[in-house]
DNA sequence: AGCTCTGTTGTTAGCGCTACCGGCAGCGCT
DNA sequence: AGCGCTGCCGGTAGCGCTAACAACAGAGCT
């Protein structure tokens, strides 16, 4: 009922204007129609200005910085805004001011709720300063990251938050050319692009190995999606392998999910692979709680004693982990803190003030529960 | 290392240009500095045009519709684009063309993965047609919807997807004034704003009651978050209440989570409330799988026999539901289909072609599993 | 009175892009 | 030859907004 044909609404006013001008113009001249383009249907700043009896500039000031205008004028303009139903056109604002008040967020996957906390905290913190967030996902395909980034840059964001520290040369080149402030998160790097809020995935995985060894496990297998576009899983694998060699002096035992999605189904598949390839395992470390949860429930269903026969551990400390029976041992990562700190650093950088400590290690915590 | 001071780069070129103009201009005139504003740091269309030896218009054509330009010219321009590292400024494009190639998506919550499937399918389908998606969340606060919508409209989206059919008058007024194509989803309404792809939450809940009655349950309690900003939960409650009265002839028995978040913890709280207020219940229907999953695991932990003593049912058919032990009876909703159909209808509307069937009922399916 | 200073408002010239038109070849037709 | 037609390309005038300045009134000072 609302719809109608929006473009149809424009014709009339323009036609009338054109007619009036034609009458005034010299007849010997070609008609020289003002060939107005499809004028926008919406209320503009100058409409509001006309309604309030002030200049467009004053309206603009009221919209952007109400305190810069005396109370009476402001009230007057605000009334006009309400009366006309004015909604500022941000595209025009961005173009004129060369600021978009917009920050892009690049995550591998949005429903994989590890990052959801980070994104939520980040966007809440930035919203308080008038920034809007737009989120893009790479679907765990690093080569996709470059495409998404390119289309992001078309929006001229004032800043970027990215999950991961591992980027293609193309991505780094784009970032360098754009000169946009960037926070990398959820990883650690000796050569960050700009700002960094994260932790060492390798150290976290090594700590988990330490925990399992402490609990008496000796044949620990790593199961994850580490060869197909999840650099964080690969880093965890590295940490695992190093720790196993150091603490147990044995060769690492791993199982890979390939390009399978991060789902509980894949977790079951991984468990099957472990039982097939490394049937003597006494513990399995998964690269994600999602995998571990799928595997854990499969064990319960099949009567495999957890942790008696097999200890299981995940990564991420999703809410699910502590609700499962048995509850799941995992690595807790401060996702919300990452988002908050990331916002803080990015705000400083966007403001142009020097950033005190541009690289922050938020750490991790091994959460020992019943599954180990 | 990337950062530097972007604004510092501009001064030189502009200064030189100003000098040249001053020499040409009449000396009696005041200097009339061209007072260039903080020129953008980035490569523009005309930079590319100069590099390729064509007009800006031709470059624009190559970017927007490569087939409208002969092969040779196109290759030439594309080489110039690559050489200069040009990234189109979408704000300028939007402003000039009055099209943003952008679609806004409004969901209550993004990590509540029911909607994740819909959003993912929707954004994939629209990306294929050159549209970008931006997502906003209302955090299950309907009054928040209006704010989010207002800031969305500032971006002048070509279309909108909203979860829910229940909107404040303010929201409806904004939508009407903007004249933007809209798809409402995940509900059903006799008076939709524009397009509609959904199903009846009430009918789905009633069907679940039917299933539980069929399995011999007589004292079914509804537990959810239906009074605090989740209209879909409220609709489900309605359907439940009607069905209970019809099929069992008893009064509905409900328990409400109030404004608590949709988490498994809240599910446990709801279970406690049920056991306290309606201790003779032989079945509990939750308004979400998340609640049901929390309650189910709590039952397992406490030794409450499911479904022997108490049958449990959820809503949404998350992946988790079929992995739990016992597996969870729930209502499956075709989230992905909703996203795909929504994209299809919206594309037609945005294209301006008449939409055949603007309201689509995608239905639902009761999935009977072990928990009932 | 003359001056500076501050607060408030208006004017102007773009931001980078695209719609709209016009011009010019080259082609096939009468 | 003259006509229209199509394909290709460029010039021009904005889209709606804001940065940068300008103008002016009134206050406070010398």
Mean pLDDT of the residues in chain A: 87
Please give the pLDDT value at position A9: 28
pLDDT, tens digit, 9 for 90 and up, residues B294-323: 999 999 999 999 999 999 999 999 999 999
Q: Which two tokens stand for residue A118?
A: 């980070």
Q: Is residue B268 part of a domain?
A: yes
| Contact residues on chain B for A113, CB-CB shorter than 8 A | 111, 113
Instruction: Give the closest residue to A218 by CA, choosing from A209, A227, A226.
Output: A209
3-class SS string, A341-357: HHHHHHHHHHHCCCCCC
Tell me, what's the pLDDT at B253? 96
User: Where a domain ends, among B46, B76, B95?
Assistant: B95
Q: What CATH code is carried by the domain that includes residue A83?
A: 1.10.260.40
A55 CA → C1 C1’, Å: 34
Q: For residues A300 and A326, state if they share a domain.
A: yes
Same domain, B195 and B212: no
How does strand B220-224 pair with strand B283-286? parallel
* B75 in contact with nucleic chain C (CB within 7 A): no
One domain, residues A153 and A194: yes
Chain B: residue whose CA lies nearest to A99: B40
Residue-wise pLDDT tens digits, B128-157: 998 999 998 887 787 788 989 999 999 999
* Residues facing B220 on adjacent strands: B283
For residue A315, what pLDDT band results from cuts at 50, 70 and 90? very high
CATH code for the domain in which residue B324 is found: 3.40.50.2300
Write down which residue in B95, B113, B130 finishes a domain.
B95
User: With contacts defined as CB-CB under 8 Å, which chain A residues touch B194?
Assistant: 1-3
Answer yes or no: is pLDDT of A39 > 70: no
Enumerate residues 195 to 254 of chain B having a beta carbon within 8 A of any beta carbon in chain A.
none
Q: Is residue A218 part of a domain?
A: yes
Judge if B323 and B226 occupy the same domain. Answer: yes
Query: In chain B, positions 37-56, which contact chain A (CB-CB < 8 Å)?
Result: 37-38, 40-42
CA nearest A209: which of A235, A186, A242, A234? A242
> Is A193–B110 a contact, with Cβ atoms under 8 angstroms apart?
no
Q: Does B326 touch chain A (CB under 8 A)?
A: no
- Pair (B56, B104) in one structural domain: no
- Measure A38 CA to C19 C1' (Å): 8
Helix (H/G/I), strand (E/B), else coil: B137 = strand
A-chain CB neighbours of B134 within 8 Å are 132, 134-135
Q: What total number of domains does chain A contain?
A: 3
Strand C within 7 A of B10 CB: no
Residue A369 lies in a domain: no
Residue A27 has pLDDT above 90, yes or no: no
**A223 and A167 fall within a common domain:** no
Shared domain check, B183 and B107:
yes
Q: Do A307 and A234 lie in a common domain?
A: yes
Minimum-distance nucleotide, CA of B37 to C1': D19
Using the Cβ of B160 and the Cβ atoms of chain A, whether some distance falls under 8 Å is answered with no
At residue B23, does pLDDT exceed 50?
A: no
- Is nucleic acid strand D under 7 Å from B58's C-beta? yes
Q: Do A156 and B38 touch (CB under 8 A)?
A: no
Residues 72-101 of A with CB under 7 A from strand C: 72-73, 92, 95-96, 98
Examine residue B371 and state whether it is found in any structural domain, yes or no. no
B311: which strand partners? B283
Quote the domain boundaries for residue A33: 6-95
Residue B226: predicted pLDDT: 85
Extract the tokens encoding A319.
């809410």
B88 lies within 8 A of chain A by CB: yes
pLDDT in tens, B85-114: 999 999 999 999 999 999 999 998 776 668
A62/D22 CA-to-C1' distance in Å: 20
């Amino acid at each position: 009922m609302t719809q109608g044909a929006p473009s149809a609404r424009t014709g009339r006013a323009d036609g009338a204007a054109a007619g009036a001008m034609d009458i005034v113009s010299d007849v010997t001249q070609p008609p020289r129609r003002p060939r107005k383009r499809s004028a926008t249907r919406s209320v503009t700043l100058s409409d509001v200005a006309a309604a309030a009896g002030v200049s467009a500039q004053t309206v603009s000031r009221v919209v952007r910085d109400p305190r810069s205008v005396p109370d009476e004028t402001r009230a007057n303009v605000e009334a006009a805004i309400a009366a006309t139903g004015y909604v500022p056109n941000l595209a025009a604002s961005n173009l004129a001011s060369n600021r978009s008040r917009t920050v892009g967020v690049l995550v591998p996957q949005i429903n994989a709720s590890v990052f959801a906390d980070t994104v939520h905290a980040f966007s809440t913190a930035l919203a308080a300063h008038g920034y809007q967030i737009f989120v893009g996902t790479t679907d765990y395909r690093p080569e996709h990251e470059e495409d998404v980034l390119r289309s992001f840059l078309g929006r001229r964001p004032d800043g970027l938050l990215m999950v991961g520290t591992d980027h293609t040369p193309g991505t780094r080149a784009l970032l360098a050319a754009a000169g946009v402030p960037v926070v990398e998160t959820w990883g650690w790097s000796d050569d960050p692009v700009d700002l960094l809020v994260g932790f060492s995935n390798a150290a976290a995985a090594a700590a988990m190995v330490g925990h399992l060894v402490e609990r008496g496990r000796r044949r620990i297998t790593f199961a994850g999606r580490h060869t197909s576009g999840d650099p964080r899983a690969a880093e965890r694998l590295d940490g695992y392998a190093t720790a196993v060699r150091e603490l147990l002096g044995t060769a690492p035992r791993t199982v890979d999910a390939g390009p399978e999605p991060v789902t509980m189904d894949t977790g079951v598949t991984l468990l099957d692979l472990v039982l097939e390839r490394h049937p003597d395992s006494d513990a399995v470390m998964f690269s994600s709680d999602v995998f571990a949860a799928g595997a854990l429930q499969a064990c319960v269903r099949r009567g495999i004693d957890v942790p008696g026969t097999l200890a299981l551990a995940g990564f991420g400390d999703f809410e699910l982990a502590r609700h499962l029976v048995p509850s799941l041992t995992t690595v807790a990562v401060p996702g919300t803190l990452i988002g908050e700190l990331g916002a803080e650093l990015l705000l400083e950088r966007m403001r142009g003030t020097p950033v005190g400590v541009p690289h922050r290690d938020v750490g991790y915590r091994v959460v020992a529960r019943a599954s180990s």
